[in-house]
Amino acid sequence: MEIIIVDDGSTDRTGAIADDYAARFPESIRVIHQPNGGHGAAINAGVRAAQGKYFKVVDSDDWLDPAALQKVLAELAANTFDMLIFNYVYDKVGKKHKRVMQFRRALPQNRQFTWQDVKLQPGKYILMHSVIFRTAILQDMHLTLPRHTFYVDNLFVFEPLPHVRTMRYLDVDLYHYFIGRADQSVNEKVMVKRIEQQLRVNRAMITYYADLHLTDPHLARYMQSYVGIVTGISSIVLLNEGSMASLTQRHALWQFMARADPALYRKVRHSLVGWGVTLPGRVGRRMSLAVYHMLQRFYSFN
Tell me how far apart the alpha carbons of residues 128 and 230 are, in angstroms, rounded to a whole number: 14
Residues 115 and 208 both lie in one domain: no
Identify the pLDDT of residue 192. Answer: 84
Residues 238 and 293 both lie in one domain: yes
List the chain pLDDT tens, one digit each, 302 residues.
Answer: 999 999 999 999 999 999 999 999 999 999 999 999 999 999 999 999 999 999 999 999 999 999 999 999 999 999 999 999 999 999 887 777 888 999 999 999 999 999 999 999 876 889 999 999 999 999 999 999 999 999 999 999 999 999 999 999 999 999 999 987 555 555 667 788 899 999 999 999 999 999 999 999 999 999 999 999 999 989 988 988 889 999 999 999 999 999 999 999 999 999 988 888 888 887 777 887 776 665 555 444 44
Residues 99 and 204 both lie in one domain: no
Tell me how far apart the alpha carbons of residues 302 and 297 are, in angstroms, rounded to a whole number: 9
Tell me how far apart the alpha carbons of residues 180 and 189 are, in angstroms, rounded to a whole number: 12
Residues 132 and 206 both lie in one domain: no
Tell me the whole-structure pTM to 2 decimals: 0.92
Residues 261 and 168 both lie in one domain: no
Identify the pLDDT of residue 299. Answer: 46
Domain range for 76: 58-139+158-179
Query: Does a structural domain hold residue 261?
Result: yes
Which residues on adjacent β-strands are paired with residue 99?
A: 90
Query: Does a structural domain hold residue 234?
Result: yes
Identify the pLDDT of residue 17. Answer: 98
Residues 166 and 226 both lie in one domain: no
Residues 281 and 197 both lie in one domain: yes
**CA-based torsion, 179, 40, 67, 19: positive or negative:** negative
Query: Does a structural domain hold residue 12?
Result: no
Residues 234 and 268 both lie in one domain: yes
Residues 206 and 293 both lie in one domain: yes
Q: How many domains does the chain have?
A: 2
Identify the pLDDT of residue 280. Answer: 80
**Cβ atoms within 10 A of the Cβ of 29, count?**
18
3-class SS letters over the chain: CCEEEEEECCCCCHHHHHHHHHHHCCCCEEEEEECCCHHHHHHHHHHHHCCCCEECCCCCCCEECHHHHHHHHHHHHHCCCCEEEEEEEEEECCCCCCEEECCCCCCCCCCCECHHHCCCCCCCCCCHHHEEEEHHHHHHCCCCCCCCCCCCHHHHHHCCHHHCCCEEEEEEEEEEEEECCCCCCCCHHHHHHCHHHHHHHHHHHHHHHHCCCCCCHHHHHHHHHHHHHHHHHHHHHHHHHCCHHHHHHHHHHHHHHHHHCHHHHHHHHCCHHHHHHCCCHHHHHHHHHHHHHHHHHHHCCC
Residues 212 and 252 both lie in one domain: yes
Query: Does a structural domain hold residue 11?
Result: no
Query: Does a structural domain hold residue 133?
Result: yes
Residues 215 and 263 both lie in one domain: yes
Beta-strand pair 63-64/167-179:
antiparallel
Query: Does a structural domain hold residue 108?
Result: yes
Identify the pLDDT of residue 80. Answer: 97
The CATH number covering residue 168 comes to 3.90.550.10
Beta-strand pair 83-92/3-8:
unpaired
Query: Does a structural domain hold residue 229?
Result: yes
Q: Hey, what amino acid is at 222?
A: Y
Query: Does a structural domain hold residue 64?
Result: yes
Indicate the burial class of 84 (C-beta count within 10 angstroms; 0-12, 13-18, 19 or more): buried
Phi/psi at 114 (5° precision): -125, 180
Tell me how far apart the alpha carbons of residues 36 and 81 are, in angstroms, rounded to a whole number: 33
Residues 172 and 211 both lie in one domain: no
Identify the pLDDT of residue 241. Answer: 87
Identify the pLDDT of residue 92. Answer: 82
